[in-house]
Amino acid sequence: MIRPLLMVGLMIALPAAAMAADARRDTILADYAGQARKVDPAFTGFSAQRGESLFRAKWTGGDARTPSCTACHTDNPKTAGQNAKTGRPIEPVAVSVTPKRFTDMAEVEKQFGRDCKSVIGRECSPIEKGDYITFMAGQ
């Protein structure tokens, strides 16, 4: 008797938590979209495909230990990563596996700042950030 009730409770609670997280992620994406329109009036929307290219590209401008986002986050966003500089394990970055991903603007900004500098050797643009999150949200 308890068990079906628990199941029903979970069926309501889990999607509710995921929906709240999705709403926070959408707010962050809307913020980046606003910034993107300011730098590029022709901006029409984020692209998961461009986000994937950013994720997989090999760069030469950054730290030699991290030529790509995949150096720490691995080739597969759904698997756990490992920090190439410190060895520390990293939770999967795919939203389907880690639903709380990209839901705290301060956290997202801090990490884009560090990781883009480390990999590309410069800041990521608002378009690149939105593309990246859009790609991971579909993973």
Report the nearest approach of other proteins to the CB of residue 133 (Å). 18
85 binds other proteins (CB under 8 A): yes
CB 76 within 8 A of CB 139: no
Chosen from other proteins, ligand HEC, none, partner binding at 102 (C-beta under 5 to 8 Å by type): ligand HEC
**If binding means CB under 8 A, how many residues of this protein chain bind other proteins?**
15
Residue 112: name its binding partner from ligand HEC, other proteins, none (Cβ under 5 to 8 Å by kind). ligand HEC
Q: Which of 41, 58, 60, 87 binds other proteins (CB under 8 A)?
A: 87
Residues forming the site for ligand HEC (CB under 6 A): 66, 69, 71-73, 83-85, 90-91, 101-102, 107-108, 111-112, 115-116, 118-120, 132
Residue 30, both tokens: 């809307």
Closest CA to 46 of 22, 30, 69: 30
Beta carbon nearer to ligand HEC, 18 or 90: 90
CB of 39 to ligand HEC, least distance (A): 18
Instruction: Tell me how far apart the alpha carbons of residues 138 and 2 are, in angstroms, rounded to a whole number.
Output: 35
Q: Which two tokens stand for residue 9?
A: 């409770």
Distance CA(34)–CA(97), nearest Å, equals 28
Write the secondary structure of 52-111 as one string of H (helix), E (strand) and C (coil): HHHHHCCCCCCCCCCCCCHHHHCCCCCCCEECCCCCCEECCCCCCCCCCCCCCHHHHHHH
Least gap, CB of 100 to other proteins (angstroms): 13
Positions that interact with other proteins (CB under 8 A): 63, 82-88, 106, 110-111, 113-114, 117-118
